[in-house]
Chain A
Amino acid sequence: MALSQEPDGQKGLIFNIQRFSIHDGPGIRTTVFMKGCPLKCLWCANPESQDFVPNLMVRDINCRDCGACVEACVEGAIWMNEEGRRRIDWDRCTQCLLCVDACIYGSLNVCGRYVGVEEVLEEVLKDSAFYKNSGGGMTVSGGEALSQTPFVTRLLKDARREGLHTTIDTSGYVPWKEMKGVLCFADLVLFDIKHLDSEEHEKTTGVDNRQILDNLRRVSREKEVWLRVPLIAGFNDSDAHMDHIAVLGREIGAKKISLLPYHEGGKSKSEQIGRSYGFSQATAPDDDRILYLKGFIEKRGIGASVGS
Chain B
Amino acid sequence: MGLTEQLKSNLAIKAVRNVQRGYTEDEKSRGLFRPEIRLDLQRSRLMTESFKETDGEAMVLRRGKALAHVLDHMGIFIRDWERIVGFQTSDPEGLYHPIDMNWRSVMRLVNSEGGRTLLDDEGRNELEDLCEYWKGKCMSDRHQALFTGDLEKYWKYEGTFLWSHLSELGIPDYEALFKTGLEGRIKMAEDRLKEIDETIPPDYVDQKEFLQSVVIVLEAVIRFGKRYAVLAMEMADAEEDPGQRERFMEIARTCERVPGEPPKTFLEAVQFFYFIHLVRYLEYSTLGIGIRLDYLLGPYYEKDLEEGRMTKDGALEILQLLWVKFLELGLVYSPLVTSVYGGVASLQALTIGGTDREGRDVTNDLTYLVLETANTMKTIEPSIALRVHNNTPDELLSAATDTIRTGIGYPSLFNDEALIPLLEKWGVPSEDAKGYAVSGCVYMEIPGKNITRRVEGYFVLAKCLWWALHQGVDPKIGEQWGARTPDPATFTSWEDAFQAYLEQVKFFTTKLAQVENTCRDLYAKYCPRPFYSAIVEGCIEQGKECKQWVYPSMVHDMTIVIGSTNVADSLAAIRKVVFEDKRVSFQELIEIMDRNWEGREDIRQACLNAPKYGNDDDYVDLIAREVHHGSEATMETVKDRFGFSKRGDGSAVSATYGLAVNTPATPDGRMDGEPFADSTLAPQPGVDKKGPTAVLNSCAKIDTLQTYNHLLNQKFLPQFLEGEMKPLFIDYLKTWRDMKIPHVQFNIVDSETLMDAKQRPEEYQDLIVRVAGYSAYFVELSEGLQDHIIDRTVQDLG
Contacts and interface: CB of A to CB of B under 8 A. Distances in A.
Contact of B728 (A19, A28, A106, A267): A28
A28 B693 contact: yes
Contact of B735 (A18, A24, A129, A228): A129
Contacts of B727: 134
Interface stretch (B5-13, B22-30, B602-610, B660-668): B602-610
A27 interface: yes
Interface in A9-53: 18-24, 27-28, 45-46
Interface residues of A, number: 42
Contact of B694 (A19, A133, A307): A19
A187 interface: no
Interface stretch (A78-86, A200-208, A258-266): A258-266
Contact of A104 (B605, B697, B779): B605
A23 B697 contact: no
Interface stretch (B346-354, B478-486, B767-775): B767-775
Contact of A267 (B724, B725, B731, B784): B784
B738 A133 contact: yes
Contact of A45 (B601, B725, B774): B774
Contact of B774 (A28, A61, A126, A265): A265
Nearest to B733: A133
A19 B691 contact: yes
B619 interface: no
A308 B724 contact: yes
Given A134-B732, A263-B785, A307-B772, A129 B725 contact: no
A134 B609 contact: no
A104 B724 contact: no
Contact of B731 (A64, A126, A133): A133
A127 B736 CA distance: 11
B12 to A, nearest CB: 40
A268 interface: yes
A144 to B, nearest CB: 16
B581 to A, nearest CB: 13
Given A22-B725, A129-B735, A264-B782, A105 B773 contact: no
Interface string B707-750: 00000000000001000110110011011001100000000000
Interface string A277-305: 00000000000000000000000000001
- Which interface residue of A106, A267, A268 has the most chain B CB atoms within 10 A? A268
Contact of A263 (B690, B762, B788): B788
B761 interface: yes
B598 to A, nearest CB: 15
A24 B773 CA distance: 7
B399 interface: no
Given A134-B732, A267-B784, A261 B693 contact: no
Chain B residues touching A, range: 35 or more
Nearest to B731: A134
- Quick one: which of A20, A23, A268 has the most chain B CB within 10 A? A20
Nearest to B737: A133
B488 interface: no
Judged by DSSP, the binding face of B is helix
A104 B785 contact: no
A19 B693 contact: yes
B781 interface: yes
Contacts of A160: none
Contacts of B766: none
A139 to B, nearest CB: 11
A135 B601 CA distance: 46
Contacts of A267: 782, 784-785
B738 A61 contact: no
A22 B785 CA distance: 20
A223 interface: no
A21 B609 contact: no
B692 interface: yes
B691 A133 contact: no
Given A19-B690, A104-B602, A268 B735 contact: no
A61 B616 CA distance: 25
B439 to A, nearest CB: 31
Contact of B771 (A24, A105, A129, A265): A265
Nearest to B761: A61
Interface in B755-798: 761-762, 770-776, 779-782, 784-785, 788
Contacts of A228: 773
Contact of A27 (B616, B731, B739, B784): B731
A213 interface: no
A20 B692 CA distance: 7
Interface string A113-133: 000000000000011011011
Contact of B775 (A21, A133, A134): A21
Contacts of B609: 104, 106
B605 A105 contact: yes
A158 to B, nearest CB: 20
A27 B788 contact: no
B616 A126 contact: yes
B376 to A, nearest CB: 27
Contacts of A104: 601-602, 605-606, 609
B693 A264 contact: no
The 10 closest A-B pairs by CB, nearest first: A134-B731, A268-B782, A20-B691, A104-B605, A307-B772, A23-B773, A133-B731, A260-B773, A20-B693, A133-B734
Given A130-B693, A267-B785, 15 more contacts: A19-B690, A20-B732, A23-B775, A27-B731, A28-B728, A45-B774, A104-B601, A104-B602, A106-B609, A126-B693, A126-B694, A127-B694, A265-B774, A306-B772, A307-B772
11 contacts: A19-B694, A22-B770, A27-B731, A28-B731, A104-B606, A130-B693, A133-B734, A228-B773, A263-B771, A264-B785, A307-B724
